[in-house]
Structure 1
Amino acid sequence: MWNGTDPLRNDTFSCASPSVEGYRYFGVLLGSAVTIVGTIGNILTVLAFATDASLRTRFNVLIVNLALADLLYCTMLQPVSVDSYLHLHWRGGATWCQMFGFLLFLSNSVSIITLCLIAMSRYLVVAHRTSRCARLLLSHRGVAVLLISSWLLGLASFAPLWPVYVFAPQVCTCSFHRSKGRPYTTVLLFLYFFLGLGCVGLFYLLIYRKVRVAAKAFLKYRPSRRSSKLKQAEAEAATDDSGISAGASTTQSCEISNDEAGAKQNRNKAEEKSEGHTTTKEPKNSIQDASKDIETSSKPSPVTIQTTPAAGSGEDSEFKRVTRMCFTVFLCFVGCFAPFLLLNVADKANRAPQVIHMFCANLTWLNSCINPLLYAAMNRQFNQAYKDLLHKAVHPLTWIWRTRRFTTS
């Protein structure tokens, strides 16, 4: 709680303690690394989307929204946290402390909402891509409305807490007061971190089950390898990395047209009659023609197989790789925040050592910088786009260095 006096002379803005005198340097180094890696990585993600036409898909708009939320934290909030750890003191004043707490939870809430939208879009593509609701939500206008709504929902959720954002000495940063904001803060944390992330996990579980069932059905009625390759090439040409088709159908048909079979029968009979008038030789060919007619007439009725985008594309399909990448992003988010949330639930009286609270809070910093690393490692398009952007950024510097070296020599 703050009282409006000079923060440099106010003990409520200090987190100094003998137990964290040495640990603060670890926090400074980690925070500095998060600032550098997160800022560069998320800027590269936004630029890659803006400059690479192959990345400008409706699904990747959600990736960019997640990058913008992380960029807000890395560029504006993380350097302030580094300064607080270095001095073990909040030097920004009471008003900036309130703004810091509000922006912190706004960034986190938008990240969680975007993770929910990513998981939901993956599930709709797999299970309900032909439904009217799915087409509406996954359209360009629908995605734009969802992104704007994610920021408006975050603003509406945490703006009412403006009077209770204070400096928290346990983690040496600004947050909402643990008791003054209740029960509203408890409800928000439950909705976002437990219910929201739980829904994300549920969507990915449903995706896994749907893809597994579809893969088994495809293996049971798999067409020839040649036709599979042709259909896969057509699907890749008409579908973006999100699995949203540009107009091609997802139905794979293993059928022979009855009209074609009937025409073939009539043609064979006409040839047989003409051969009977001209010659009586080669009865073996007549027997073969008759057997072909029998085979044609005895072929099974058409069988239509409904498959998901991943079922007919092979184990290493682009859809599966993108979905696996999104699920990894979700797991990393949970891994970064789970220790901090569990510690706050278990240690309501703040009896745990301060260094434990600070360490668990430091783990949440990693979430804002790890996503671009996952994109580069698990998505070939983002990887290549990052390389091209870095090459363009470094090329002027190498040209200047080579020019100076040439003139000096």
Structure 2
Amino acid sequence: MLLNTTDLYGNDSFSCASPSVEGYRYFGVFWGCVVTVVGTLGNVLTVLAFATDARLRTRFNVLIVNLALADILYCTILQPVSVDSYLHLRWRGGATWCQMFGLLLFLSNSVSIITLCLIALSRYLVVAHRNSRVARLLLSHQGVAVLLVSSWALGLGSFAPLWPVYVFAPQVCTCSFHRIKGRPYTTILLFMYFFLGLGFVGLFYFLIYRKVRVAAKALIKYRPSRRSSRRKQPEPEGTDGDDSGIGIGTAATQSSEVSEQASEIHHSKTNVNEPQTISSVTNAVNVASNGTKDSPKAAAPAPAAAPASSGEDNEFKRVTRMCFTVFLCFVGCFVPFLLLNIADKNSQAPQVVHMFCANLTWLNSCINPLLYAAMNRQFNQAYRDLLAKAAWPIMRLWKKR
């Protein structure tokens, strides 16, 4: 992606043949085929799971689908072309297709980074500013639709101006922008997307971690005081032996609201990816800490609220952990390649090293569905159902034979 080439469409400018990569190219071909098959199947399953499973059709999962679409663009269209180039150690598509390939390559990468930023931002808003005007606007159906269209428009608008300088990069046997002719615009773009953009993603997840940790500590401190208040507080009139400590007037009203919130959270546990149902731990802590011992606001919430809040909070943590893992995998796939190109400005490193680091970036486009299957029960079940339905006609034909 950041590589040098000797001449813009010069003699033999589409060849990457070298004695040092004659054997390695077969590994590249094998690895590219695996990425094509696994990435296409996994990301198509992700889109189909969203379309067919009502539990997965949430505004947050729309961002997951957008990430899958960017990966489909790479795995299904671009990766087979790279496999062909590795097999023949030569670009066989011509100059125009080389330019188109380079544009689509960076469009896919940029949309992935923008979507990772949106995912991290949405998780942070749910935790820290759920009821703010900005959160309601961005997480609405219209807001999410605008964000998705904007991610593709921004990616295309960022890298389309580089059309004249997309060329074949022999060191990685693929098409990219010319490293020197694209400056300083390419340097600014790479800094904004790969360093500033991914840096903001990391910052949002760090802020989420702090918020969740503070809320969890406060909830742990609240539970002993709740048990203590139950032992010390006399049973109010009208409770009919209820040990929840609910009195009359404002205290009863507040407990009713908390119970309704707990019921809503319990109902939403089958739809853990919806942003609007999250932050129950913080809400429970706020309910517990708003009152004093002389005020009816200090009354403890209904017994059902604590288990529901705890369970829903655990689901939120699992979904956030999955998103953070997706981000870490993206960084892990691209960092070696970026560092190599920064350190090797004069292209003195062996070609096979450049090719290996470039091949590592291919992993990013096919690994996300595997993470969803491993870390999200709903996606896992949806994948199983889709595969079972796809295999059923084959099994029927096999049994007839």
Q: TM-score range by the shorter chain?
A: 0.7 to 0.9
Give the 5 Å matches for 1:286-325: 301-303=296-298, 312-314=309-311, 317-325=314-322
- Select the residue among 217, 229, 237 that pairs with 2:267: 237
Partner of 2:233: none
2:90 counterpart residue number: 89
> Which ranges of structure 1 fall in alignment gaps of 5 or more residues?
259-297, 405-409
Q: Which residue of 1 aligns with 2:252?
A: none
Aligned length: 359
**Secondary structure of the equivalent of 1:167?**
strand
- Residues 1:310 and 1:140: Cα distance change in structure 2 (over 3 Å): farther
Whether the 8 Å contact between 1:232 and 1:313 is mirrored in structure 2 is no
Deviation, structure 1 residue 3: 6.2
Distance 1:390 1:198, change over 3 A: same
- Secondary structure of residue in 2 paired with 1:350: coil
Q: For residues 69 and 310 of structure 1, do their structure 2 counterparts lie closer, same or farther at Cα, with a shift above 3 Å needed?
A: farther
Q: Distance in 2 between matches of 1:304 and 1:218?
A: 15
How does 1:258-337 map onto structure 2 within 5 Å?
Answer: 301-303=296-298, 312-314=309-311, 317-337=314-334
Is the 2:326–2:368 contact (alpha carbons within 8 Å) kept by the matching residues of 1? yes
The residue identity in structure 1 corresponding to 2:283 is T
Shift of 1:220: 1.2
Q: Specify the alignment match of 2:27 in structure 1.
A: 26
1:21–1:131 distance in 2 versus 1, CA, 3 Å:
same
Runs of 4+ residues deviating >4 angstroms? 1-5, 223-233, 246-250, 298-301
- Give the corresponding residue for 1:166: 167
Distance 1:234 1:341, change over 3 A: same
Q: Which amino acid aligns with 1:242?
A: N
By how many angstroms is 1:302 displaced? Answer: 2.0
Deviations 1:72-123 (A, max 9, x none): 0000000000000000000000000000000000000000000000000000
| Deviation per residue, 1:13-35 (Å, 9 max, x gap) | 00000000000000000000000
Cα drift, residue 219 of structure 1? 1.1
The match for 1:372 is 369
Distance change in 2, residues 1:217/1:184 (3 Å)? same
**1:182 paired residue number:** 183
CA deviation map 1:310-365 (0-9, x unaligned): 99324972111100000000000000000000000000100000000000000000
Sequence identity of aligned pairs in percent?
Answer: 75
> 1 CA distance for matches of 2:278 and 2:41?
37
8 Å CA contact retained: 1:37, 1:369 = yes
CA contact (8 A) 1:23 1:355 kept: yes
Amino acid at match of 1:394: A
2:283 equivalent in structure 1: 251
Cα pair distance change 1:350/1:311, threshold 3 Å: farther
Alignment partner of 1:56 is 2:57: yes
Q: Distance in 1 between matches of 2:111 and 2:264?
A: 36
Contact 1:125 1:243 in 2 (8 A): no
Q: Partner of 2:121 in structure 1?
A: 120
Aligned to 2:239: none
Contact 1:251 1:305 in 2 (8 A): no
Aligned counterparts of 2:199 and 2:378: Cα–Cα separation in 1: 29
The answer on whether the counterparts of 1:218 and 1:305 sit within 8 Å (CA) in structure 2 is no
- Residue 57 of structure 1 deviates from its aligned partner by 0.3
Aligned-residue RMSD, C-alpha: 3.0
What is the TM-score when the length of structure 2 is the normalising length?
Answer: 0.83
User: What's the offset of the Cα at 1:141?
Assistant: 0.6
2:67 aligns to what? Answer: 66
Taking structure 1 as the reference length, the TM-score comes to 0.82
In structure 1, distance between residues paired with 2:307 and 2:106: 36
Deviation at 1:221, TM superposition (A): 1.3
The CA deviation at 1:237 is 1.4
Rg larger in structure: 1
Give how far 1:145 is off. 0.4
Q: Distance in 1 between matches of 2:51 and 2:378?
A: 13
Instruction: Supply the distance in 1 between the matched residues of 2:22 and 2:199 (Cα, whole angstroms).
Output: 38
> 1:126, 1:20 → 2: CA distance?
50
CA distance in 2, matches of 1:335, 1:304: 49
In structure 2, runs of 5+ residues without a counterpart are 231-242, 245-257
User: 3-state SS of the aligned residue for 2:162?
Assistant: helix
Seen in structure 2, the aligned counterparts of structure 1 residues 31 and 207 have a Cα distance that, compared at 3 Å, is same
Deviations 1:222-263 (A, max 9, x none): 3569989996553131474235336998733359x99xxxxx
SS in 2 for 1:54: helix
Residue of structure 1 in register with 2:253 after alignment: none
